[in-house]
Amino acid sequence: MSLSSVTTEVVDPVPGAQAPHLPQQPDLVQLLTPEGERVEHPEYSVDLDDQQLRDLYRDLVLVRRWDVEATALQRQGELGIWASLLGQEAAQIGAGRALAPGDTAFPTYREHGVAWTRGVDPLHVMSLFRGVDNGGWDPVATGFNLYTVVIGAQCLHATGYAMGLQRDGAEAAVLAFFGDGATSQGEVNEAMIWAASFSAPVVFFCQNNQYAISVPLERQSRVPLYRRAAGFGFPGVRVDGNDVLAVLAVTKAALAAAREGQGPTFVEAFTYRMGAHTTSDDPTRYRLASELEEWKLRDPIARVKAYLARSGRAGSDFFAAVEAEADELAARIRRGTVEMPDPPGTAMFDQAYAEQTPPLAAQQAQFEAYQASFEEGGE
Amino acid sequence: MLRQFKLPDVGEGLTEGEILQWLVAVGDTVTVNQPLCEVETAKAAVELPSPYAGTVTALLHEAGDTVDVGTPIITIDTGEDATTPAPDGAGGTGGEVAAGLIGGEAPGGRTAVLVGYGPRTTEARRRPRRAAPASPAPAPLPGADYGSGGTPRPPLPGADAGGDPHPPLLATAPDATVKPVRHGGLEVGRQAEAHAAAEEAAPSRAAERGHRRPRPLAKPLVRKLARDLGVDLAALAGSGAGGVITRADVETAVSAEPAPAPVAPAAVPAPVATAGERRIPVRGVRKHTAAAMVASAFTAPHVTEFLTVDVTRTMKLRDRLATRPEFAGRKVSPLLFVAKALLLAVRRHPMVNSSWDEAAQEIVVHGQVNLGIAAATPRGLVVPNVKDAGRLSLAGLADALAELTETARAGRTAPADMTGGTITITNVGVFGVDTGTPILNPGESAILAFGAVREMPWVHRGGKGGGGKVRPRQVTTLALSFDHRIIDGELGSRFLADVGAVLSDPGTALAF
């Protein structure tokens, strides 16, 4: 690549700086337009029956309802914090449903939709955000690693795990999740270099939701993120992250290539975080309402509903049933969350090491004595 | 059963919030997750959803009150039998109170928290300790000393038999005078404070090294302050522990030297607060307003033209129209007529209702007028717009304007109402001001300022040859700012003259 061709690269347009239609992106893989129109792509395709399409819609609606309930529970003091996935449902459901049973996903702390596709009970995620435990699910049984709060660290875990699979001769792949902000982290870059060097069976799935908390993408990268893959020596593809079909198709193809020994792929799911970074954040301080309004026109769920309804694949009774199921799920999550018992204060000592070390045992004894030094029912 | 909802910690480690407004009233029926009120904290303004379904029986704080986290703010009657445990909220933040005992909440519920999240029942109150423990000193805190729980750590070589080379992390037993630190860091924070106290008491190693130190000791913030103020740290003697140069040292050095050489860029004001000076963080609406104004002022070359007109006839027309049945109950304001005049003038000069598309190098002439009205609200300036205002009848326009301003003042303008504006009116007259030079709403090419309508001496009914008489008339001044890239002086002038013509003689509208 000559220097001049590098300098002619344009940075992504500022989201929302234009008229309310998708920015002209010739490289964006899309199979379902924001208006719900099914389009074809020369390289990627999906072949789903009506039931599978309806199932994807159900997934999208249920995880959004879960997210809404969790946000409300945080506002009611029942969760310490919540990282909302609002707007990113299609990226997560599409990626999660692309995984085969033997594959493993390494999430950040926002992949509630992927957790859903791996059969993780939402309450096991809620307990983490309530501060009751560090995530209650079994990473091995679900093929879904525990949430990683450290930005980008899970990419190293994913690459290492993928190299392990390679050495075991397993026909399985690893899906590493991270955000646009994490691409600026050393760990993510190191993970990609190692994965490329060893042709590890890992797919780097970046949900570009346009903001690293408050920092817009154009401050972090001079080139579209998916083009960075070329520098590491593996393919990069940008997919409409609000198009569940396109995400599913692209991720499936990337995972299949990884399982066949063709090495890693970088998938950039171009999406938008419609809510706050977490419940501790106020996005109105760094982005304009008009931007959100424009992304609402590209809502990931509305287009699937429009497609299902217009093509006669689902009727109002189906949509009503999904809504009812979502309300039931929300009620179950609410009840289960508020009824979670607090764990004993000494639980942290039990989970640090498989076998207790003498200094930790001493600390635990001190801590118990300290706790016991207070009067009952004091606070 | 009556249930109380306590103000939760909606961020991480917040202690209080201001109730901006209540969205429900006593007697209202509420559902789970229905917004109850809007609360502004140090981090964000958020709506609090109801944890209960039922009837509101009491609002325990007024809008505008600042409430500590953990304080009950609302009482809701869930209609359940008090003896049956509620399906939701059990063990939650909502305290259960017996009927008639509002405010007499019992201790219990989930108050002990794991990592500092969640509500506190009181501010800076600590659990009582048991009576004096058997050991003379309280048990060391976890993490304070890795060795102390097991075998005692041997004294370090070179240490005096009686003196610990390390100052103790806890100089004294924690007592009530040490300010507890919120947010889970209770012990750690207290240790840190004690540590700082111990460090101050003991001579530090840095001081012993004396003149051999490579550069003056100061914290990064103090270094920056010194750099900004042009103070040479090497020339100062530090008054802090161990000779560390403090902020006060730097500030003293500046006041001793009244005219420091402008080492820092001259534009940087000295961050030394003068008496009565307040510093307000720029954020929210103010931040966006500032960004929009700067963007507009420095991208679109503005010019402003003025026109003073006699609007007596419009004011009389207004009085007549107000008595007509279709305007019964509607507010017929002077602004309504200015808006109508502007819409009529746009019809004659559509180019005024346009945008500059820098990327495409095109001028976008809009097919409809989305009429923006600049509104001063308690939270700052917002410019909601009336979509396709040109299609509305005068009564319809009156309704749209009334609704728009009411919504804006209530702070409930929907984002969609603030986007897509094509031309704006700013009514500075309501503040008794004659006129101004308005800055364009970004993306638009014209904005009309409407000044106060005053009774003024005016030469009335003068013909071409003069002969008019000075009469008291209702007079106002219009100011039109426009983007000179799109609108030439001629077009801007004609447009403004047309607006003025309709206002000075509403009959002109028939000709438009």
Whether residue A90 is found in the same domain as residue A139:
yes
Six-digit token pair at B506? 């509403």
Task: Please indicate, yes or no, if residue A6 is contained in any of the structural domains.
Answer: no
Please answer yes or no on whether B149 and A362 come within 8 Å at the CB atom: yes
Whether residue A51 is found in the same domain as residue A110:
yes
pLDDT value of residue B131: 66
Please answer yes or no on whether A131 and B115 come within 8 Å at the CB atom: yes
Whether residue A179 is found in the same domain as residue A123:
yes
Task: Please indicate, yes or no, if residue A48 is contained in any of the structural domains.
Answer: yes
Per the DSSP assignment, residues forming a β-bridge with A266 are A204, A236
DSSP secondary structure of A179-207: ETGGGGSHHHHHHHHHHHHHT-SEEEEEE
Whether residue A355 is found in the same domain as residue A286:
no
Per the DSSP assignment, residues forming a β-bridge with A175 are A105, A203
Whether residue A243 is found in the same domain as residue A363:
no
pLDDT value of residue B326: 86
**A344 has a chain B CB within 8 A of its CB:** no
The residue of chain B nearest to residue A368, with distances taken between CA atoms, is B142
Name the A residues in 283-322 with CB < 8 Å from any B CB. 284-285, 288-290, 292-293
Q: Residue A343: what residue type?
A: P
Helix (H) or strand (E) holding B343: helix B334-348
Q: pLDDT below 50 — which residues of chain B? A: 84-124, 133, 135-213, 259-268
Return the C-alpha torsion angle B341, B343, B344, B345, nearest 10: 90
Please answer yes or no on whether A369 and B139 come within 8 Å at the CB atom: yes
Task: Please indicate, yes or no, if residue A264 is contained in any of the structural domains.
Answer: yes
**Which residues form the domain of A361?**
348-373
Whether residue A297 is found in the same domain as residue A356:
no
pLDDT value of residue B410: 81
Q: Which of A279, A292, A362 lies at the smallest CB-CB distance from B150?
A: A362
Whether residue A137 is found in the same domain as residue A80:
yes
ipTM of the prediction: 0.75
pLDDT value of residue A48: 95
pLDDT value of residue B157: 45
Q: Residue B396: what residue type?
A: G
Name the nearest CA neighbour of A182 among A106, A257, A74. A106
CATH number of the domain bearing residue A157: 3.40.50.970
The total of other beta-carbon atoms located within 10 Å of residue B380's CB is 14
Q: Which residues of B touch A149 (CB under 8 A)?
A: none
Instruction: Quote the number of domains for chain A.
Output: 2
Task: Please indicate, yes or no, if residue A9 is contained in any of the structural domains.
Answer: no
The residue of chain A nearest to residue B119, with distances taken between CA atoms, is A77
Indicate the pairing of strand A265-270 with strand A236-240: parallel
Task: Please indicate, yes or no, if residue A4 is contained in any of the structural domains.
Answer: no
pLDDT value of residue A84: 96
pLDDT value of residue B186: 34
Average pLDDT per block of 10 residues along chain A, 379 residues long: 38 40 69 94 94 97 97 95 97 98 97 98 96 91 96 97 95 97 96 97 97 92 94 97 98 97 97 93 86 92 96 95 97 96 85 85 92 70
Whether residue A241 is found in the same domain as residue A301:
yes
Q: Which residues of B touch A370 (CB under 8 A)?
A: 138-139, 141-142
Task: Please indicate, yes or no, if residue A65 is contained in any of the structural domains.
Answer: yes
Q: How far apart are CA B20 and CA B38, in angstroms?
A: 5
Question: How large is the greatest C-alpha to C-alpha distance in chain A, in angstroms?
Answer: 73
Task: Please indicate, yes or no, if residue A275 is contained in any of the structural domains.
Answer: yes
The residue of chain A nearest to residue B45, with distances taken between CA atoms, is A282
Angle among Cα B164, B166, B171 to the nearest 5 degrees reads 85
Task: Please indicate, yes or no, if residue A8 is contained in any of the structural domains.
Answer: no
**CA–CA min distance B44, chain A (Å):** 5
Task: Tell me which of A71, A76, A360 to substitute to probe the interface with B (most B C-beta atoms closer than 10 Å).
Answer: A76
Contact indicator for B372, B343 with CB cutoff of 8 Å: no
Six-digit token pair at B86? 């509620």
Establish whether domains B2-97 and B203-279 are of one fold: no
The total of other beta-carbon atoms located within 10 Å of residue B215's CB is 8
pLDDT value of residue B103: 33
The half-sphere exposure of B269 on its side-chain side, counting CA atoms within 13 A, is: 5
Question: How large is the greatest C-alpha to C-alpha distance in chain B, in angstroms?
Answer: 113
Q: Which of A72, A362, A373 lies at the smallest CB-CB distance from B133?
A: A373
**DSSP code of B212?**
G
Contact indicator for B352, B446 with CB cutoff of 8 Å: yes
CATH number of this structure's domain B285-461+468-511, picked from the four choices 3.40.50.1820, 3.30.559.10, 3.90.245.10, 3.90.1150.10 = 3.30.559.10
User: Domain residue spans in chain B?
Assistant: 2-97, 203-279, 285-461+468-511
**CA–CA min distance B102, chain A (Å):** 20
Beta strands in B172-218 (DSSP E): none
Return the C-alpha torsion angle B258, B263, B266, B267, nearest 10: -110
If you count DSSP H runs as helices and E runs as strands, how many of each does chain A have, helices first? 15, 7
Q: Residue A156: what residue type?
A: L
Q: Which residues of B are catalytic?
A: 484
Indicate the pairing of strand A174-179 with strand A104-106: parallel
Please answer yes or no on whether B419 and A289 come within 8 Å at the CB atom: yes
In 3-state terms, what secondary structure has residue B36? Answer: strand
pLDDT value of residue B191: 43
Whether residue A48 is found in the same domain as residue A108:
yes
The CATH number of B2-97 is: 2.40.50.100
Secondary structure of B413-458 as H, E, C letters: CCHHHHCCCCEEEECHHHHCCCCCCCCCCCCCCEEEEECCCEEEEE
Please answer yes or no on whether A343 and B114 come within 8 Å at the CB atom: yes
**A19 has a chain B CB within 8 A of its CB:** no
Domain spanning B203-279, CATH class:
few secondary structures
Task: Tell me which of A75, A288, A334, A337 to substitute to probe the interface with B (most B C-beta atoms closer than 10 Å).
Answer: A75
pLDDT value of residue B467: 74
Six-digit token pair at B185? 């860091």
Whether residue A222 is found in the same domain as residue A280:
yes
Whether residue A365 is found in the same domain as residue A249:
no
Find all residues with CB under 8 Å of B164, minimum gap 6, and list them: B155
pLDDT tens sequence across B22-60: 999 999 999 999 999 998 877 678 889 999 999 999 999
Q: Which of A81, A288, A366 lies at the smallest CB-CB distance from B12?
A: A81
pLDDT value of residue A15: 43
Please answer yes or no on whether A338 and B107 come within 8 Å at the CB atom: no
Please answer yes or no on whether B47 and A75 come within 8 Å at the CB atom: yes
